[in-house]
Structure 1
Amino acid sequence: MRAAEKLFGEGVDKTDVDYLLLCTQSPDYYLPTTACILQDKLGLSNECGAVDINLGCSGYIYGLSIAKGLIESGQCKKVLFLTAETYSKYINEKDKTVLPLFGDAGTATIIEAVDTEDNGLEGFVLGTNGAGYQNLIVPVGGMRQRMQDTEITEQTDEYGNYRTNIDLYMYGSAISDFALDVVPKTVDKILAKTGITKNEVDYFVFHQANKFMLQFLQMKCDLLDYPYWNDVKEYGNTVSCSIPIALVDMMNANQDKKISKVMSIGFGVGLSWGGCIIDMSKYEK
């Protein structure tokens, strides 16, 4: 909410917003939809569509894809796309396998129709492998295993990390293997779809999972000689918020450079992934 209010305070007219997308896996309630609550709290029009997207690390890319479809199909002209995540509420403070990795955050992005021949968002590649869903999960709390019907069990691993079945669990090596498999292929597919080369991409900004995974991906994708963003020290892994935060930090750190085409790829919980080319040429600080 504060991210959206900051946008409005910087001159974005809230009366023009005709669709609200919220990407979160930590909603206020099972129901109603949190986007509906935010529509009211932000003072948006009653003629504004509002919907939640329950998606994690790839959620920003999926949200951009949905916004592009809504606009290009003529359903709306200006989308307010919010991401908000508080994974800290799912993490046991005694589980050092995940506690140091994740951070909470919220972001706000405006996607709007512009009369131009340029492609603001292009080359979308999306994918899902739900067979790996148990590798990053909060097992108890939803309708499959309701809190009131499930015995709370405890687990301590060989390193002394403690968690229960209502806490976030991540099988780190499986997630790393998944990312190292799908991300390089996604890079190639985006380039093939758009007809551009790596040299024509001004920056590569991937989901900021962790420093070491990003280093491995840079090598695996053959991007060692290309502008590549890897800076999670201030925030940690903020799930669906990581790409928009990284985009802003990257642009602010390169104010003396002309940056237009940015390739962004998200990957993780689901298991899910997505990528595209984002035109940042109209970015305003």
Structure 2
Amino acid sequence: MTQPAIYSRVIGTGSYLPPRRVSNQQLAEELAARQVETSDEWIVARTGIKARYFAPPDMTTSDLAVEAARKALDMAGVDAQAVDLIILATSTPDFVFPSTACLVQSKLGITNGCAAFDVQAVCSGFVYALATADNFIRSGAYRNVLVIGAETFSRILDFNDRTTCVLFGDGAGAVLLSASSEPGVLSTALHADGRYADILCVPGNVHGGAIQGNAFLYMDGQAVFKLAVGVLEKVALEALDKAGLEASQIDWLIPHQANIRIMLSTARKLHLPTEKMIVTVDEHGNTSAASIPLALDVAVRDGRIQRGQRVMLEGVGGGFTWGAALLRM
């Protein structure tokens, strides 16, 4: 007898931002004390960012992730003990090891021995984690997977470099992906090209009890912009092709919230009106692996994204990595 197909579906979303909102004006004043010149006008014109959130020193990536996860579980109406896998995307883990996912498991009080691990694909991390969770569920291995993107990027910023320190913020977003008889994740597509590792990186490591190399984020902005615009269009079209759909059938586009110019260019290339694009970069800045689930949760909770609608998620980040996931909510 043929077994019914197993699919995965998002049944809950959640997000969390640390308490301190830093406007461009506030950041410009703080940077001025370092003789670093910037302004609200300069940042908005180049990025579309107006503010970002920074975590206090005693707040970790796992702390942010736990709050987002709790909200996703609450929306889904699922007890934490029913979670049988946690996949957490981050480039700013609490420690070298154990994984931040294991710390989240402990802080959520999950004692069922569920599997937990981190994914490192920088700003594409959430899409990578979602695709991994989808395949685990489709295989029948797991039923309820917490997929989280969480970052404290403020810890790896060089506040003497105005080209990068104005871009990033901290935050977390999560979804509960569960087994379903109806397709929810319609398609995914993942790619990487390590030849571009040096255009966006943190080229340092721990060696002999000290940091070897540079522990701050480095980015070649022009190179990243050029590469991002090209691959985001292609990977979105690839995901659509796998699902047998056209771009016109997308209800909402949620690109990685890095730079409004990259986001607008992607929408134009897909011939999508900007009204169909979810934008949170203005308030959140670039929160790396957290940016897509943060934006998804905002749009679900304010009522824009409705059940049954098709949502395209896509991200691009250091590695170089990129990916897309097409969802039916």
Task: Give the shorter-chain TM-score range.
Answer: 0.7 to 0.9
Secondary structure at the aligned position of 2:163 is classed as: coil
Structure 1: which amino acid aligns with 2:220? Y
- Alignment partner, residue 95 of structure 2: 29
What's the offset of the Cα at 1:35? 1.6
Tell me, yes or no, if structure 1 residue 241 matches structure 2 residue 306.
no
Q: Could you give the per-residue CA deviations for residues 55-104 of structure 1, whole angstroms, max 9, x where no partner exists?
A: 21111111111111111111111111122101110001121111111110
User: What's the CA shift for 1:259?
Assistant: 5.5
1:277 paired with 2:326, answer yes
Would you say the 8 A contact 1:203–1:263 is kept in 2? yes
Task: Name the CA distance, whole Å, in 1 between partners of 2:277 and 2:305.
Answer: 17
RMSD: 2.1
Contact kept, 8 Å, 2:147 with 2:174, in 1: the verdict is: yes
Structure 1 vs Structure 2: percent identity of aligned residues?
Answer: 34
Letter in 2 for 1:132: Y
Q: 1:128 aligns with which of 164, 177, 192?
A: 192
Contact (CA 8 Å) 2:315, 2:323: kept in 1 or not? yes
What is the identity, as a one-letter code, of the residue corresponding to 1:135? I
2:268 is matched with which residue: 214, 219, 226? 219
CA distance in 2, matches of 1:266, 1:137: 16
Runs of 4+, deviation exceeding 6 Å: none
Aligned to 2:42: none
C-alpha deviation, 1:251, in angstroms: 3.0
| Structure having the larger proportion of residues in strand | 2
Match of 1:67 among 133, 145, 148: 133
What's the secondary structure of 2:280's corresponding residue? Answer: coil
CA distance in 2 between partners of 1:167 and 1:183 (Å): 26
- Aligned residue for 2:235, secondary structure, equals helix
Structure 1: how far apart are the matches of 2:112 and 2:306?
41
TM-superposition CA deviations, 1:38-59 (whole Å, max 9, x none): 2222111342011111221111
Aligned to 2:203: 139
1:241 alignment partner AA: A
Q: What TM-score, normalized to structure 1?
A: 0.85
Whether the 8 Å contact between 2:153 and 2:168 is mirrored in structure 1 is yes
Flag the 1:189–1:8 CA change in 2: closer, same or farther, 3 A: closer
Residue pair 1:140, 1:147 contacting (<8 A) in 2 also: no
| Alpha-carbon distance between aligned partners in 2 of 1:193 and 1:174, rounded to the nearest angstrom | 29
In structure 2, C-alpha distance between the alignment counterparts of 1:226 and 1:105, rounded to whole Å: 25
Please list the CA deviations of residues 220-275 of structure 1 after superposition, one character each: whole Å capped at 9, or x if unmatched. 33324761223311100111111111112223444496651111111111110110
Q: Are the aligned partners of 1:21 and 1:63 in contact in 2 as well (CA < 8 Å)?
A: yes
CA gap 1:48/1:213 in 2 versus in 1, 3 angstroms: same
Q: TM-score, normalised by structure 2?
A: 0.74
2:196 match: secondary structure: helix
Q: Please state which structure has a larger fraction of its residues in helix.
A: 2
Q: 1:1-285 counterparts in 2 under 5 A? A: 1-9=66-74, 11-114=77-180, 116=181, 118-142=182-206, 148=210, 150=212, 165-224=214-273, 227-255=276-304, 260-280=309-329
Is the 1:141–1:147 Cα contact (8 Å) retained in structure 2?
A: no
**Distance change (3 Å), C-alpha of 1:204 and 1:255:** closer
Q: Which amino acid aligns with 1:268?
A: G
Residues 180-235 of structure 1: per-residue CA shift (max 9 Å, x gap): 11111112212211111122211111111111221222223332476122331110
Instruction: For residue 65 of structure 1, give the secondary structure of its aligned residue in structure 2.
Output: helix
Structure 2 unaligned runs (5+)? 1-65
Q: Give the stretch that moved more between structures: 10-19 or 170-179.
A: 10-19
Change in CA separation of 1:65 and 1:176 when aligned onto 2, cut-off 3 Å:
same
